[in-house]
Amino acid sequence: MSMKKRTRLERTFTGEPVDRPPVALWRHWPGDDQYPAHFAAATIAFQRQFDWDFVKVTPSSDYCLRDWGTQTVWEGNNEGTRRYVHHPIQHPEQWAALRPLDPSQGSLGQMLEALRLIREGLGPEVPILQTIFSPIAQAKNLAGPHFLTHLRLYPDAVRAGLDVITETTCRFVEALGDLVDGVFYAVQWADAAHLSRDEYRLFGRPGDLRILDVARRYWFNLLHVHGTAIYFEVFVDYPVQALNWHDRETWPSLAEGKERFPGAVVGGIARMDPLLRGTPEAVRSQARDAIAQTEGRRFILGTGCVTPITTPVCNLRAVRAAVEDVREGS
């Protein structure tokens, strides 16, 4: 008998036996993501087609920044992301001009409307996670190429701006209410190519923990650490149920990550090869390897980040079928 999605996930978090590993993929919806009704319809249709164990709602990264003045354009990126063409913070004194946003208004209010439509369309049995970008991830998009210079030369100014971003994000998480079952908390620039380990601990970690403390009301919070050469060890004590990173592209492997993190690890499928450019059999083979690495316990099958929007449907089906192979013993 098949388990309900929530039961399967909650047992996975603690390593209890499940009928099969949970599975989920998520992708951007360029164009549609600018309109609540269209964005919701695309998200609902994707879930109905593949029946993932949870829905990770994936808005464009500027949804939380437009009302502070960012501007983006859609140019056909394979991941479905938009390019920033205007960063409103050009000078260090502009950080002090940031004011907290009202989550019921503007772009944040439109995101809440999309979530209402998604919840209405999918019902209470499908777990829904809203993407929340960390304060650092938001700040680097507000300032663009100026961010690192400001952070290192004018740390107090940037810290004041991060406080406002954090306060706004906490208010938005509170406003999510019963529309979601948790948050997909996306951390960026916690890697050797951008911030040092100490810089992330000093400027990033305090805001992360404030926001995740607000999110404790939810039963399923998933942390995503973006990029390669990441500071994985900085995040193993974060109060979340699951952890996702680019496990096929950077240290640690799924097996090593599972040893260091007490909850569930999420990943196993490389986004480009085989998911985008490979065959269904190659996808299923990599899924089998991921299940073997984790012994199918405290493990959710997925990718390290967003699924490319041009991924063949047969490969998406192969990801979904891979966990049914476990249930059927094949």
Taken in order of first residue, the domains within the chain and their CATH numbers are 5-328 (3.20.20.210)
pLDDT at 132: 99
The model's pTM is 0.98
Angle ∠(289,295,300) on CA atoms, nearest 5: 75
- Whole-number pLDDT of residue 1: 62
- 112, containing H or E segment: helix 106-122
**What pLDDT was estimated at residue 134?**
99
Tell me the average confidence (pLDDT) per consecutive run of 10 residues in the chain, 330 residues long. 92 97 98 98 98 98 98 98 98 98 98 98 98 99 98 98 98 98 98 98 98 98 98 98 98 98 98 98 98 97 98 98 83
| Residue 139 CB contacts under 8 Å (≥ 6 apart), including other chains | 147, 158, 161, 162, 165
> β-strands 128-133, 83-86: how paired?
unpaired
pLDDT given for residue 2 in this prediction: 81
